[in-house]
Chains A and B, each alone.
Chain A
Amino acid sequence: MATRSVEAIIRPGSPHYVGDGFRVHNFIPGNQGASMQRMNPFIMLDYNSKYRFAGTDKPRGVGVHPHRGFETVTIAYQGKVAHHDSGGGGGVIAQGDVQWMTAASGVLHKEYHEKEWAKEGGPFQMVQLWVNLPARDKMSPPKYQAIQNNTIPKVTLDDAGSTVEVIAGTYQDTPGAASTFTPVNLLNARLKKGSAAGFSFPAPYNTALVVIEGSIVINGKNQAPTDHFVLMANDGESFTVEATDDAVVLVMSGEPIHEPIAAHGPFVMNTRQELIEAFEDFNQGKFGYLED
């Protein structure tokens, strides 16, 4: 099996706010080479690097907005987010949890810092990743997978206590917690200083890492510090990640969906006509109603 090399190590750009509760660096599509087409099926990645929010009685967040045509995956590293949707659903994503929301045909939702957490404030660190859906599933019914940390399968790597959490896909034959529409691997490697983990995905799968904590060396030669995005090339399957400090690394690898992408704001479809329909359906209340 050939080694998959590092294509680029991307520094976090200047942050912007999504609503007033998410201070994010955008890596996908970004402007440093990780475009939607390049990263397909991963079409958006916002990273809220560790940031301390002060306590407040009015939780910060982002108000009612729609999605159609893809899935949103929220990974909470620190802090708590409460969410509500137009289907009457809702819940809290706490530290270590993952929420896998299939927006598909359409939901309205809002996301705020959880009320009690917001009162105290504290460090907040999250990833929001959008995973595209193939044309056949874009208009399927919306659903949630609320994945609590204790239900995520963990593979122990060594005696030092390094583990890989399998959010989706497989790692060393251990299947992940989330079901996906196309092949997607999403893993959290929690590595102690000096520990290493090996990964192998088919070469055509688009693959990237986000260094959430600590620092790592990839394939024994490429160093990536905290808060950096590592774009892996498609020249091989296998690569290693070694922690030079206690590290947490988000690893994503997915089979590209070879279909046209027509994207505008919160809608990601295949054609312009489908985008226009999405706007019309949203304007006509077909996504339901949710109080701000």
Chain B
Amino acid sequence: MNRFPFATYLTSNTDLDETMIHELVHQCMNKSVDKGAYLLRQGETCEYSIFVEKGLLKQFAIDDQGKEHILQFAPENWIVSDRASAYFNQPSEYFIQAIEDSNVVLFDEAFILQLAKSNASFLEFNHRQLHNHIRQLQRRILQLQSATASERYQHFVKVYPDLLLRVPLVQIASYLGITPESLSRVRRELAQQNRTILS
């Protein structure tokens, strides 16, 4: 599996000076986490945003019945955080857990502010990322209200093209807000329509 260094993520998206980025990134915390380890638990304060250099995380909540609801997957090159907790300083409602052995970089709000202060292109990039995030969240709300299981699945594989190989179907169903049986049915029907390779 390839590794996606945080410094590369920043240099390829902003016109920040490379030396400066490396200095700043050096101040961030690099962490290796084993599959199953938690980076955040419900009730804790989320102090960091987490950039995934290698591996895969999930952010989820557990309801009163003990059922897991997955809000987001974060594979390589993604950022995951609990905004309510990290920005508004509330105890988190979420868990963030590694579902593969992972390498992550933790950065806090001060890091963002420092970068933003020193560089307009970063400010613009960060702004764009936030709006893109909101756009995705809006689309996801609408989908959960109105889209069929098949439409949800089709959108999922566009956003996360390789996760079907990395995540058990029951977790994908949780993310999509459908039952595992519905997900199986959707995939079976799709295979019947599209099956072209095997005779």
Interface residues of A (CB under 8 A from B): 65-66, 86-87, 105-107, 141-142, 264-266, 276, 279-289, 291-292
Residues of A close to B142: CB separation below 8 A: none
B191 interface contact, C-beta 8 A: yes
CB-contact partner of B195 in A65, A141, A279, A285, under 8 A: A285
A289 touches B161 (CB 8 A): no
CB-contact partner of B190 in A106, A141, A284, under 8 A: A284
> 28 A–B contact pairs at CB < 8 A?
A65-B165, A66-B165, A86-B198, A87-B198, A87-B199, A105-B197, A106-B197, A141-B197, A265-B162, A266-B165, A276-B161, A279-B162, A281-B197, A282-B165, A283-B157, A283-B161, A283-B164, A284-B194, A285-B190, A285-B192, A285-B194, A285-B195, A286-B195, A286-B196, A286-B197, A287-B197, A289-B191, A291-B184
Assembled-state Cα–Cα distance A279/B188 (Å)? 17
Which of chain B's residues has its CB closest to A107's CB? B198
B16 interface contact, C-beta 8 A: no
CB-contact partner of B161 in A87, A107, A280, A288, under 8 A: A280
- The residues in B between 149 and 194 inclusive whose CB is less than 8 angstroms from any CB of A are 157, 161-162, 164-165, 169, 184, 187-188, 190-194
Assembled-state Cα–Cα distance A107/B187 (Å)? 15
Interface residues of B (CB under 8 A from A): 157, 161-162, 164-165, 169, 184, 187-188, 190-199
Residues of A close to B184: CB separation below 8 A: 291
Which of chain A's residues has its CB closest to B101's CB? A16
Residues of A close to B164: CB separation below 8 A: 282-283
Which of chain B's residues has its CB closest to A89's CB? B198
Assembled-state Cα–Cα distance A272/B64 (Å)? 45
* Closest-CB distance, A143 to chain B (whole angstroms): 10
Assembled-state Cα–Cα distance A86/B188 (Å)? 11
* Closest-CB distance, A164 to chain B (whole angstroms): 35
Residues of A close to B196: CB separation below 8 A: 286
CB-contact partner of B199 in A141, A264, A289, A291, under 8 A: A141
CB-contact partner of A286 in B161, B165, B194, under 8 A: B194
Sorted from nearest, which 5 A-B pairs have the closest CB atoms?
A285-B191, A289-B191, A283-B157, A285-B190, A87-B198
Residues of A close to B169: CB separation below 8 A: 292
Assembled-state Cα–Cα distance A286/B184 (Å)? 15
Assembled-state Cα–Cα distance A287/B191 (Å)? 7
* Closest-CB distance, A60 to chain B (whole angstroms): 16
Q: Which of B169, B192, B197 has the most CB of A within 10 A?
A: B197
Given contacts A285-B191, A289-B191, 5 further A-B contacts (CB under 8 A): A106-B197, A107-B198, A142-B197, A266-B165, A287-B197
* Closest-CB distance, B88 to chain A (whole angstroms): 37
Residues of B close to A86: CB separation below 8 A: 191, 198
Residues of B close to A288: CB separation below 8 A: 191, 195, 197-198
Assembled-state Cα–Cα distance A283/B165 (Å)? 9
Which of chain A's residues has its CB closest to B166's CB? A265
Residues of B close to A265: CB separation below 8 A: 162, 165
Assembled-state Cα–Cα distance A284/B197 (Å)? 12
* Closest-CB distance, A202 to chain B (whole angstroms): 34
Assembled-state Cα–Cα distance A287/B165 (Å)? 13
Which of chain B's residues has its CB closest to A16's CB? B101
Assembled-state Cα–Cα distance A264/B184 (Å)? 24
A285 touches B165 (CB 8 A): no
Residues of A close to B195: CB separation below 8 A: 285-286, 288-289
Assembled-state Cα–Cα distance A123/B83 (Å)? 51
Assembled-state Cα–Cα distance A127/B195 (Å)? 31
Residues of B close to A284: CB separation below 8 A: 157, 190, 194
A289 touches B165 (CB 8 A): no
Known: A66-B165, A279-B161, A283-B157. A289 touches B198 (CB 8 A): no
Known: A285-B191, A285-B193, A288-B191. A264 touches B162 (CB 8 A): yes
* Closest-CB distance, B35 to chain A (whole angstroms): 11
* Closest-CB distance, A87 to chain B (whole angstroms): 4
A289 touches B192 (CB 8 A): yes
B197 touches A289 (CB 8 A): no
Which of chain A's residues has its CB closest to B156's CB? A283
* Closest-CB distance, B199 to chain A (whole angstroms): 7
Residues of B close to A281: CB separation below 8 A: 197
Known: A65-B165, A265-B165, A276-B161. A142 touches B198 (CB 8 A): yes
Assembled-state Cα–Cα distance A276/B157 (Å)? 12
Which of chain B's residues has its CB closest to A63's CB? B168
Which of chain A's residues has its CB closest to B158's CB? A283
